[in-house]
Amino acid sequence: MSCVVPSPSVERRDLVTSFRAECPAAGVDDQTLQATLAAACARGRAAFPLLDAGDEAFAAHLGRVARLGETDAGELSALPIEDLYLACACLAGTAGAAEAFDARYGAPIRGAIARIVGAADTDEAHQQLMQSLLVGGPAGPPKIGSYAGKAPLERWLGVSARRAALMWLRENRTEQNARAAAGAEPGAGGHTPLETAYMKETYRREFEKALAEALDRLPEQERALLRLHLVNGVSLEKIGTMFSVSQPTASRWLAAARTKLLDDVKQALAPRLGTSSAELASLAGMVASRIDLSLSTLLKPR
């Protein structure tokens, strides 16, 4: 039985076709592009000999990178090809890719996170970042796919780690502050009355259910505003920029959305629980104190 060896023209067509499928306007002829892609594949394999990302898959990845970063195909060789090869392998779930990624970048990422959140919380924040980078979830695909090679991967990951750590810190401080507010409601003597504690426990499930239902009824834009501010920690100034409005307008929108939810929840709870006017007054305070905490949980991607 004879072994058929693919001709260079077939190899060129496969790599070039894979690249152009992702970036049609490559700006160079097939022969030049073939040489560039073949050299890039060789560099990637040499840097990570134990990882087999596949030449055609890597050529397609470089096409996405060129499109994403608006990079001319003739400039591909100037990009950090080895970093892009590892990113491609991670995205493809290549055996050993995640381990290679952690061996090379795990320590710098953890260090960047620890400097912001502290050693005690580094593990949790690091795990969340690695999940979003290499696995993704309901909120979107793996973030490593957005790496376009404009800077070395270690520098790009350092920025990502600092952003993730700040986001984690804001999110957890919001939750901690809300928890503190929820448990603070002191009586005249500075202590939380037993009646209030009883009401919290008695009505907690009803409150959570009513809030979830009210959130479902809220228009999508208002849900998005609450999610951006309470879950993602986006400032009102940035929210205003995103929606092309002033910061005061974004603040009014957010306050209106929260007020709408509060009114909806209180209206739903009154007939459902049949409470007295005094109990409803206490319940209204409980709702106001817990709403940010509960929303930060309900709005998180599942």
What's the CA gap between 218 and 199, in Å, rounded? 26
The answer to whether residue 292 sits within a structural domain is yes
* Judgement on whether residues 159 and 198 belong to the same structural domain of the protein: no
The answer to whether residue 151 sits within a structural domain is yes
* Judgement on whether residues 130 and 194 belong to the same structural domain of the protein: no
* Judgement on whether residues 150 and 200 belong to the same structural domain of the protein: no
140 has which bridge partners? 137
* Judgement on whether residues 87 and 128 belong to the same structural domain of the protein: yes
For 218: left if phi > 0, alpha if psi spans -120 to 50, otherwise beta; the answer is beta
Q: Give whichever of 167-181, 186-200, 242-256, 261-275 has the largest mean pLDDT.
A: 242-256
* Judgement on whether residues 13 and 157 belong to the same structural domain of the protein: yes
Residue 257 has pLDDT above 50, yes or no: yes
Single out the residue of 128, 132, 139, 142 nearest to residue 64, CA to CA.
142
Residue 219, Cβ density class (10 Å: 0-12 exposed, 13-18 middle, ≥19 buried): exposed
* Judgement on whether residues 15 and 162 belong to the same structural domain of the protein: yes
Distances in Å between the alpha carbon of 55 and those of 15, 19, 76, 98, 109? 7, 10, 15, 19, 29
- Residue 56 tokens read as 């055609």
What's the CA gap between 9 and 21, in Å, rounded? 18
Distance of CA 201 to the CA centre of its chain: 33
The answer to whether residue 271 sits within a structural domain is yes
* Judgement on whether residues 150 and 292 belong to the same structural domain of the protein: no
* Judgement on whether residues 104 and 152 belong to the same structural domain of the protein: yes
54 secondary structure, DSSP code: -
Name the average pLDDT for the chain.
76
The answer to whether residue 248 sits within a structural domain is yes
- Residue 88 tokens read as 């491609």
The answer to whether residue 175 sits within a structural domain is no
Q: What is the pLDDT of residue 125?
A: 86
pLDDT per residue over 195-237, tens digit each?
Answer: 444 445 556 667 777 777 877 888 888 877 777 776 667 777 7
* Judgement on whether residues 199 and 136 belong to the same structural domain of the protein: no
Domain ends where: 140, 168, 196?
A: 168
The answer to whether residue 80 sits within a structural domain is yes
CB 15 within 8 A of CB 57: no
Q: Give whichever of 134-148, 166-180, 181-195 has the largest mean pLDDT.
A: 134-148
**Cα-based torsion angle of the residue sequence 80, 85, 91, 96 in order, rounded to the nearest 10 degrees:** -130
Provide the domain limits for residue 280.
184-298
Q: Per-residue confidence at 81, pLDDT binned at 50, 70, 90?
A: very high
* Judgement on whether residues 158 and 52 belong to the same structural domain of the protein: yes
Distances in Å between the alpha carbon of 101 and those of 42, 61, 161? 19, 17, 14
User: What residues have CB less than 8 Å from 168, skipping those under 6 apart?
Assistant: 117, 121, 124, 125, 128
* Judgement on whether residues 105 and 250 belong to the same structural domain of the protein: no
Domain ends where: 109, 136, 168?
A: 168
* Judgement on whether residues 148 and 78 belong to the same structural domain of the protein: yes
Q: Per-residue confidence at 59, pLDDT binned at 50, 70, 90?
A: very high
The answer to whether residue 190 sits within a structural domain is yes
Domain ends where: 117, 138, 168?
A: 168
- Looking at the structure of the chain, the number of domains it has is 2
Residue 6 has pLDDT above 50, yes or no: no
Q: What is the DSSP string of 196-263?
A: HHHHHHHHHHHHHHHHHHHHHHS-HHHHHHHIIIIIS---HHHHHHHTTS-HHHHHHHHHHHHHHHHH
Q: Per-residue confidence at 240, pLDDT binned at 50, 70, 90?
A: confident
Q: What is the pLDDT of residue 43?
A: 95
Show the beta-strand stretches assigned E in the chain. none
The answer to whether residue 153 sits within a structural domain is yes
Q: Give whichever of 19-33, 52-66, 205-219, 270-284 has the largest mean pLDDT.
A: 52-66
